[in-house]
Every structure is written in structure tokens, then in C-alpha cells.
Chain A
Amino acid sequence: MDISLINLVPLLMAASTPILLAGLGELVVEKSGVLNLGVEGMMIVGAITGFMAAVATGSPTLGFLGGALGGAAMALIFGLLTQGLMSNQVATGLALTLFGLGLSALLGQGFVGLKPPATPKLPVPGLSELPVIGPMLFRHDLMVYLSLAAVAAVWAFLRYSRPGLILRAVGENHAAAHALGYKVTRIRIYAILFGGAMAGLGGAYLSLVRVPQWTEGMTAGAGWIALALVVFAAWRPVPLLVGAYLFGGITVLQLNMQAAGVNVPVELLSMSPYVVTILVLVAMSAAGAAAGAPGSLGRAFHASR
């Protein structure tokens, strides 16, 4: 296989989209002060529900919708337990991942080996005909464009909109936000649902576009990568995009290098995406030291008195 940018960039964009979507959702959740470690579980449930919806209806669009709903349903369980019943967020998140892995295996029993309807590419008229840049950037499916739009939307939402400001305030100091009269629990539930839907979309992208078929445990740690990216990106959307593309890019590159038979031990190649992504993001977050974790991250909020 030819290792060139024109080949590599479209592949890396597609490879990065699942973790970008899931990471973006988790970023919003954590900005609201909630630590949901169930990203992996929500992703894989999104992967199977999306797959099921797409196979049943024959429409990839409805498939993605099904994936988002499946992820959001999982998130709702997490939200009710942690926000309503004040359960421990770390334990509940871990349980959600285990539950999601089991549930998806159960749901997916009749779907192993099936082929989902193909997700069409949507070349951008005009731009996709440009030399070099066209095939690299403008011949993707809808979800790739949407994920990039989501990065911009989340960035603008958090930075410029009033609901975004309130969300950040809730995550920064929930007691103070409550004292000012903001509905901490409700805002967090919304954020958790959004995070679940985004993780579900990411999962559906795996089963409908990336692979595309259903296999048990097919997320293979992508949810955990998304979680780590959020931390290393210091809870900022744009560095998250960089991190996700870097990770996806090196994954694709090292696969191509393996295929090309480059004389480097396979183990080194396989670990390179993790090592490089962590190093780059650590350097980035050290440079922008001002942004830290949201002040109330992972702390349960109970409106007493």
C-alpha cells in the first residue's frame, strides 16, 4: 500500500471520528462537573443499537439516530443513578461500561455476520474536485462533517453562549451555582444525555462505517481513549480534535507501515499511537496551564437546605 498524505488523511479522519464524537460528548459532561467513566459502555451499546436500526430500516441515517438514542438511554441510567440517587460516579461509570458490554453482546446475537446498508459519501460540490485537497478533505460521509461541525459548535457554545457559561459554572462550583438559583441536577442530566448520544453516535460510526459489521466488544477501548483525550486536551474542544486526529492518524499510519513491512518491531508500531498522543497532549496541556479540571468534577451535589 502506498503511504502518502492523499491516502492517509481521509483514512485518519474516518478512523478518528468515533473517538472524536465520544470525546466531545464526554468533554461537555465533564465541563458540567460529572465524571462518566461509562463512555466505552455507551459507545458499544450505540454501536449495536445503531447497527440494528440500520439493518432493520435499511437507512444509515436512522441507524445513526438509533445509535444516539441507545447511547443516550445508557446515559440516562447513569444520570438517574448519580444525579437522582447520589450514587458514586466512578463506580457507576465503571458498572455502566461492564453493563454496556454485556447488553450489547446479548442484543447483537442475531446480527453477527450481517452487512449494514452502506453509508454514502457526500462529496462537497466544487470543493471535492480540487486537486490534492479535494480527495483529502471533501469526500467524506455526513458524520465526518458533522463531527467537525460539532467541535466548532461545542467550542462556541462553551465560550460564547449563556447556557454554555451556566454549564461551566455548574461544573466549576456547583454550590455557588445553586446559590445563584441554577438547577444543577437538571443541567447535569442534560449534559449527561448529550454525552451519551455523542458516544452512541461514535459507536454507530464504528459498526456502520469503520468496520462495517457487528462483532462483540468491537469498540476495543475506544471509549477509554476518548476519556483520556478529554483530560489531556485540558477540557478544550480544539485540542481534543487535534488529539483525536493525531491518535487516528498514527493508528492508520502504523497499520500502513505494518502492511508495507517496515523494519520496525510490530509491538513498537502498535503502541506508537498511544505514546505519541499522550506525549503531544501532555506538552500541549503544559503550555496552556491556565485551564484545569472543572472545580466540581466528580463530586456529588445534593441541595441541602
Chain B
Amino acid sequence: MNSTDDLLVIDGVTKAYPGVVANSDVSFRIRKGEVHALLGENGAGKSTLVKTIYGLVTPDAGTMTLDGQAYAPAEPSAARQAGVAMVFQHFSLFDALSVAENIALGMETPPKRRVLARQIREVSEAYGLPLSPNRRVGDLSAGERQRVEIVRCLLQNPRLLIMDEPTSVLTPQEVEILFRTLRQLSAEGTAILYISHKLDEIRALCDTATILRHGKVVGDCVPRDTSARDMAEMMVAAKLDTPVKHPGTRGEEVFAVDGLSLPAASQFGTALKDIAFSVRKGEILGIGGVAGNGQDELFAVLSGETRTAPGSVAFQGAPVGRLGPHERRAIGILSAPEERLGHAAAPDMSLADNALMTAALRMKLAPGGWIDWKGVRAYAEKVIKGFDVRTPGAHTAAGALSGGNLQKFVVGREVMQDPALLIVNQPTWGVDAAAAAHIRKALIKLAEEGAALIVISQDLDELMEISDRITAICDGRMVRPRPAQGLTMNDLGLMLGGRDPEEEAVA
């Protein structure tokens, strides 16, 4: 049974928390030097399993064997000593510390500073991930920050490298660099356990995949020979409807931004530079871009949180630059921000309260200044039903919902108010495949019913799937929008870098 090229054998691992079984009798094996994908929806138990392997969680039952030896790390340092390293989904970095200090913190016995700095340079060069040891991590880009984590792992010569959603913040070009590094590692004999929602990436990179659902292993496959659709269906145990876009009737221009410039609000903000675009009735305009290139600033201008010169933003021909979010809602401009907890929803308040906050005006939930609680609850229930939000009811606190469910709620809350223009920022960030498909379908349907939509997203597949036209924002400047049909990933990559693919082709 135990062949010698098995690196990690997981046998019957079970972990239960009060009210939920995170892992139930999970068994699979990772061979030496292979890239092994771990697939599953949000809440399928991937994180718990990975934390068990990394020693952050002690399983209730089951055993693990690493390279023929019993393996039961009591804490992460034991895991690191055994040769297991991990790159976290949310970067576990310290902003105020330097690259070298961050790396030293992740090592058991770090060498002297000067030696460590040299090692960092050597390893990062060897794997094509250039890094300067003395820079402050807070000043680095998302891609560079991930390099810090990877180099931290590589310096310890791991036998197993765990990567939790590593590409969610990277540009396609950065993803390419990362994959090249991972393939190089795998060729040198390091096994990689790779967790991602992005099935195309898994098909491109991974040798085998194990699929989890509700804490159980429900199957495995060879990603290269399995379609993304089949894998997604194994994850959710249901037929997936990929949203289909009908390139339908497009009406007159409803919303236009012209000559919009805005200085950066803070030291870490991005200035917007001479942005101009327009959206028509029934059209979805996708805005791509790597995080931190001005998306949040642009969203604030569009939603009315940041006010601008009256003429730079026009709705149905009238200047609205000076109107705040409330006034814009009154005339049909609705928006759903990226940050679910704290921006789109108040975590400690119930779903009904949260529904009231943006829908009071258009759904007439507070006539004469008095709250119509019956109406509020009815509206919240309507959103919950219409968007398949899995929750006990409208009285549940927003913060108690899983990310995907809350996202369905905050998007649904706006969609159901019959907007003339809807602006959404990262509509499916951190949301599993089924919920994402649901949200995208709702957005497409809304456009088909005649609304104009602006979708800001870092997920290029999503933009390709739902947008009629796509543009990108880079360092506060916007690329000329182009029809989504016929755009290649390479074009998109160029656009994310702030270049116009057509001009590049000519040049």
C-alpha cells in the first residue's frame, strides 16, 4: 500500500468544531515532487485540513505519515522542522518590518543578518523572484509580498510546500512567474499542495487533484484530463449553469465620466488621472486591474462617496458629480462595494437592518422617517429567497454569514431595487464557484432587463464571462474600453499594465 514515493499520507483525519464537522475521515496521499491540488467550495474544509498539516490544528482522529515516519506536528515550528512550509492566503506578513526580518521570523534558526540577506538575494534570484532584503514590507506590491512568503519557505528547503489561494492578487504575468517557480521546485523534488478556486490554473499546473465537499473527500482526478466544468460539478455536487450572455439590445448612453482627475487622498492612495468612459443601457462594462491601482478611488467617485466637479460624472445627461450616495440612489445609481464587512454591510447588525440601510429610500421602507419593520423584514426575506442566501433568517447578524452568502445578500440587496445603473466592486471576491455563478447570472439578467452595469473586478475570467466591453485601470489611468469578444488573455495582460493592445500590435 505504502509505496516509497509517497511523501505525505493522510489517513482518516477528522476534526469537529462545535456545530460543524470541518474534516470527516479525510484520506489522500501526496507523492514526492508532485503538484497536488486541493479543491472545494468555501467551507468545504480545505483550510482546516491545511492547518492540520501545518500544525495549527490538532485533529480529533486520524494519522498522517511523512516520508514513512509518523507525523503529528504539535505546532508550526514542528511542521517546519519536518520540512513542511506554507504560504498563506492572507499574507502573514508584518508591514512595519523589513523583508529580512519577516523572513527571519518564519525560520527556526535564522542565520546572522548579513548571511540571511545574502541568502535571500541568492534564492530569490535562483527562482526568478527578485527581492531586496532591506525594504519595508508595507511598501511592497501584492506580488512582491507573496515573493517574501515564498522565499521564506524556500530558504528552509521544504519537502512539502503548501500554497493557499496564491494567485488571487496577482496579474496574469505574475501568475506565469509563480507557475514557473513552482514547476522548477516540483522538478527539484519538492511536493506542492495547491489550493485554489481557479480551475483553469489547476488544470495548467497540477498533476492530481483531491476534491473536498462538506469536509469529506468526494473524489480525485487528473486535472489535465478533466474539464473545469466537471471539476466544478464535483465540488458542488450539482449541475452548474454557466451564465450565458445574450449580446442583446443596447440603448442610449446613461452614464458618462469625462476628464475625471482626483489627487490621492492619502499617502497609500492612488491618484485618478484623466479618466473618461461611458456606459449604455443594457451594457456591462468590466473594469480590470491589479489591486491598488485606483479601483477603490474610482468606485468612491462613481458611488458618490467622493464628490467631484459636477460635470465630470453625468447620469442621463445631467451632471451628478456633486451628489452624494443617497441622492444618487434616489435617481437610480446604486452601488455595492468590495469590502463586505464594514463597507457593504455592518457586521454586528442583522440582515434586515442592513437591507434597510441601502434600500430605505427606493423601497420606501421608512415612510415619513418612521421605520416600517414589517416591510424591512419582507424586503430582506425577498433578497434572501431571491438570491439563495443560506441563513436562518433576516434576524441573523451579517457578520455570522459566510463570505459567499453575505456577498449574495449585498449584491442582491442592490439588484432587487431596480437600479438604472449598478456599480459593483469585486462582486465575487472570495466566493465559491456556485455562489459566483449565481451572482454573475443575476448581474447579466439585470443588464438584459435594461440596466447599465459597471463591474470592477480583478478576476479576468469573470470579466470575460459577463462584460460587453472591458477596460482596465493602471496607476489611476484607464485604458480605452474594448469589446470583450475577441480579447485574449494576453491582450488583457497588456491592458492591466496600462497599455493598449492595438497600439502594441501596430508598434
Contact A179 B56 (CB under 8 A): yes
Bound complex: CA of A291 vs CA of B98, how far in Å? 12
Contact B93 A305 (CB under 8 A): no
Q: Which listed residue (B51, B75, B94, B97) contacts A305, Cβ 8 A?
A: B51
Contact B92 A179 (CB under 8 A): yes
Bound complex: CA of A180 vs CA of B91, how far in Å? 11
B110 beta carbon closer than 8 Å to chain A: yes
Contact A172 B76 (CB under 8 A): no
CB-CB under 8 A from B95, the residues of chain A are: 172-173, 295
8 Å CB contacts to A: which residues of B5-33? 17
CB-CB under 8 A from A292, the residues of chain B are: 96
CB-CB under 8 A from B80, the residues of chain A are: 181
- Chain A, residues 268-305, CB within 8 Å of chain B (1/0): the string is 00000000000000000000001110110000000001
CB-CB under 8 A from A182, the residues of chain B are: 105
Bound complex: CA of A177 vs CA of B77, how far in Å? 12
Contact A305 B106 (CB under 8 A): no
Return B364 CB to nearest CB of chain A, in Å.
Answer: 40
Q: Which listed residue (A162, A181, A290) contacts B104, Cβ 8 A?
A: A162
Return B428 CB to nearest CB of chain A, in Å.
Answer: 24
Return A294 CB to nearest CB of chain B, in Å.
Answer: 7
- Chain B, residues 200-221, CB within 8 Å of chain A (1/0): the string is 0000000000000000000000
Q: Closest residue to B48 on the A side, CB-wise?
A: A305
CB-CB under 8 A from B92, the residues of chain A are: 173, 175-176, 179-180
Interface size class of A (residues with CB under 8 A): 20 to 34
Q: Which listed residue (A165, A168, A172, A181) contacts B77, Cβ 8 A?
A: A181
- Chain B, residues 67-108, CB within 8 Å of chain A (1/0): the string is 000000001110010000000100111111100010011100
Beyond A172-B96, A173-B94, is A305–B17 a contact (Cβ under 8 Å)?
Answer: yes
B304 beta carbon closer than 8 Å to chain A: no
Q: Closest residue to B91 on the A side, CB-wise?
A: A176
Return A52 CB to nearest CB of chain B, in Å.
Answer: 42
Return B95 CB to nearest CB of chain A, in Å.
Answer: 6
A166 beta carbon closer than 8 Å to chain B: yes
Bound complex: CA of A173 vs CA of B75, how far in Å? 19
Q: Which listed residue (A162, A176, A181, A291) contacts B94, Cβ 8 A?
A: A176
A169 beta carbon closer than 8 Å to chain B: yes
8 Å CB contacts to A: which residues of B33-74? 48, 51, 55-57
Contact A172 B75 (CB under 8 A): no
Beyond A166-B105, A180-B105, A181-B76, is A172–B97 a contact (Cβ under 8 Å)?
Answer: yes
A-B residue pairs in contact (CB < 8 Å), sample of 10:
A165-B101, A165-B104, A168-B94, A176-B92, A176-B93, A179-B56, A181-B77, A181-B80, A295-B95, A305-B48
Q: A182-B105, A290-B136, A305-B51 are in contact. List 9 more A-B contacts (CB 8 A).
A: A165-B105, A169-B101, A172-B95, A172-B97, A180-B76, A181-B55, A181-B75, A305-B17, A305-B56
